Amino acid sequence: MDRLPEEILLHIFGFLDSTPPSELKARQEPTLHLTSSPEAPLKRACCVSKLWRRVGLPLLFSCTRLQLECDVPPGATGSCWVCGLPANEEGLESEDVEKLHRELAKTACGPLVKCEDPIVEYQVPYRLITYKELHKTISPEQMMAICALMFYHQLLDMLAFLERANLAKEVQSFVLLRGKMPSEQMDRLFTQLKSGWRHLGAAMFWRQLFSVMDPNRVAIVAPPRDLGFWTKTVVSALHEWAFPDMHFHSLELRRDTARISSVASQLPQDNSAGSSRAVFPADIAKGILTIKPWTHLALNEGSFLKAYGTYEYFERGPPTLIYSITDLFAHHAVVLGSVRSFTYTGIFPFANHARFTRILPHVEELDCRFAPDPDSGILDDKDRVGKAELQDCWQELFTAHHELCSLLQTGRLEYPRLKKFVCGDARITGIQAELEHLFTPLCLPEWAEMEPGVFHRLISPPSLSPEQ
C-alpha cells in the first residue's frame, strides 16, 4: 500500500468516507452526541501510519466540530495579553478581531481590568486562580463575559491547528456543540444580561471562523436560549419551566452554490462587508443567519412531551428560535433572500406552534416532521412521557398537519414560490392511513404525491415581478 502513489491512496480512502453523523442524525432529538458514530473507518485509517495520516487528513477534516467548554482546558499554557485567560501562543491574530477582543474585555470585565503597563493596555489580575475561585470572586455577569472570551480562545486553538496542517480550506461542514452553563444560576442569568457584549462576542467568533474557513454547512447544537446568543436573536424563556426535557435545539444552515448564483442578481448589493473600522459594525449586524447567503435552513426543537403534562399546555410557549426566523422572513425578507428551503423537526409540537405562514411565501421547499422516530423508543419510556396524555399529543400532530394542508391547498396566490412539500411523518406505518386521509384533498388539482409524503406542485404559480 505504501508504494502506491498518494493519489491512488486518496482515491481508496474516499471509499471509507461517508455521510457525517451530524447529517444522519439531523432529524433525531438533538444531543451533544450529534457527531458521534460507532463506525469511524477513516479515523482508524489515519492512525495506521504517518503517510496514511497525511493523505487522509483532508478527507477527515472536511467535517469538523468544535465543542465549547466554559472552563479552563486541562494543561492550558500561556495567557492572552488582552484578558489574561489561557490562550494558544500560536493563536491567529487578526488586527480587527483583536481590537474587538480588547473592547469586549474592557466592557465586560470593566472593574477587573487595570492598566499596569502602557504596552499591555489591559491586564486582568486573576490569570492564575482556578475557575471555582474565580466564580466566588466576581459577579455572574462578569463570569458570563469571561466564558465568551474563553470561547474565543478555544476557537483560536482549533483554527491554529487547521492552519498549521493546511486543512482550513478542506472544511466543508462545521458543527458547533455547546453544553449547558456550569450552574443553573449562570444559565438563568444568560437572558438577563445586556445584549451588547454578547453580540460582540458572537460576531467576533463567527467573523474569525469565516476568516479562516468557508464551510458550505454550519450546524449548531446548544440549549435553546444559548442558541439565541449564537444566532444574535431573541429566545423567550417565559414558559421554559414547562419544557424540562427540551435540553437542546439544533440549527443547520447550508449553501448550494448553484442556487446562490441563480438568485444573486435578484438581491440588493451589500457594500458594507469591506469595512475596516475597528469594531466593524457591518459584521456585528450580521449574525450567523445572515453572514452568508444560505440556501437551506433547518431547525430541530426536540421534544414537547413534558409540556403536555401541564395545565392548558397549549398556552405554553417553548423557548424557540422559530419566531425570530419568521420575523426575519416576514419583515426583512432580503436578509434571508437566498433561502430556498426550510426544514422543521419537533416531537409533538403544539398545532398553534407549528405554523409557518410567514415563511411559506419566501421558500420553494418545506419539509416537516412532527412525530418521534419509531426507533427512538421515547413513547415507551415512562419518564420521558411523564404526565402527558398521548391522545392529546397525536391530536395536536394531526391538527398541525391538517392546518398545513389547508394552507397549501388554498394558498396558491399567497405562496407563489412554493414548489415542494415533504411530510416526513408519512413514512411511519402506524399513522399512514390518517395522514393519507388528510392529504387526499391536497392532491387535486394542484399537487401530486410523487412518493409517500413528497408532494410536488403541478400548476405553475403566477409569475413574480422583480420586486416580489
Shared domain check, 325 and 232: yes
Percent of the chain with pLDDT over 90: 41
Separation between Cα atoms, residue 421 and residue 446, nearest integer Å: 12
Q: What angle do CA 420, 426, 430 make, to 5 degrees?
A: 175
Q: CA–CA separation, 219 vs 250, rounded Å?
A: 7
For residue 195, tell me if it sits in a domain: no
Residues 115 and 247 grouped into a single domain: no
Same-domain status, 384 and 250: yes
- Does any domain span residue 210? no
Domain membership of residue 205 (yes or no) is no
User: Quick one: 2 and 86 in the same domain?
Assistant: no
Same domain? 74 vs 56? no
The model's pLDDT over 168-210, given as tens digits with 9 standing for 90+, comes to 999 999 999 988 765 554 454 444 444 555 666 677 788 888 9
Q: 445 lies in a domain?
A: yes
pLDDT band at residue 106 using 50, 70 and 90 as cut-offs: low
Q: Is residue 379 part of a domain?
A: yes
Q: Does residue 319 fall inside a structural domain?
A: yes
Determine the Cα–Cα distance for residues 183 and 193; give it in Å rounded to an integer.
Answer: 16
Q: Give the residue from 393, 317, 384 showing the smallest Cα distance to 355.
A: 317
Reported as type and span, the H/E element at residue 132 is helix 131-137
**Partners of residue 123 on adjacent β-strands:** 114
Cell of 49: 501510519
Last-in-domain residue among 60, 80, 107: 60
Question: Which has more confidence, 107 or 301?
Answer: 301
130 band by pLDDT with thresholds 50, 70 and 90:
very low
In angstroms, the CA 37 to CA 18 distance is: 11
* pTM of structure: 0.82
Q: Which residue, among 270, 264, 260, has the nearest Cα to 296 in the 3D structure? A: 260
User: Are residues 263 and 320 in contact, defined by beta-carbon separation less than 8 angstroms?
Assistant: no
Distances (CA, A) of 265 to 251, 259, 262, 268: 27, 11, 7, 8
Q: Point out the domain boundary residue: 185, 205, 235.
A: 185
User: Is 21 a member of any domain?
Assistant: yes
- 157/228 same-domain check: no
Is residue 466 predicted with pLDDT exceeding 80? no
Same domain, 309 and 235: yes
Q: Are residues 276 and 403 in the same domain?
A: yes
User: Are 13 and 131 in a shared domain?
Assistant: no
Number of domains in the chain: 3
DSSP 328-344: HHHH-TTTTTT--EEEE
Does 321 share its domain with 358? yes
According to the model, what pLDDT value does residue 330 have?
A: 77
How is residue 378 annotated by DSSP?
A: G
What is the span of the domain harbouring residue 43?
1-60
CA distances in angstroms from 331 to 317, 336, 358, 362, listed in the order given: 22, 10, 9, 11
Q: What are the Cα distances from residue 149, in Å, to 111, 198, 248?
A: 16, 10, 23
Per-residue pLDDT at 75 exceeds 60 = no
Lowest-confidence segment of 33-37, 119-123, 209-213, 399-403 by average pLDDT? 119-123
Instruction: Establish if 299 belongs to a structural domain.
Output: yes
- CB 209 within 8 Å of CB 65: no
In the predicted structure, residue 388 carries a pLDDT above the cut 50: yes
Same domain? For 55 and 77 the reply is: no
Nearest to 362 by CA among 300, 298, 295: 295
C-alpha gyration radius of the chain: 24
Q: What is the pLDDT of residue 95?
A: 52
The model's pLDDT over 258-304, given as tens digits with 9 standing for 90+, comes to 655 444 444 444 443 333 223 334 444 567 888 889 999 999 999 99
Instruction: Tell whether 338 and 370 lie within a shared domain.
Output: yes
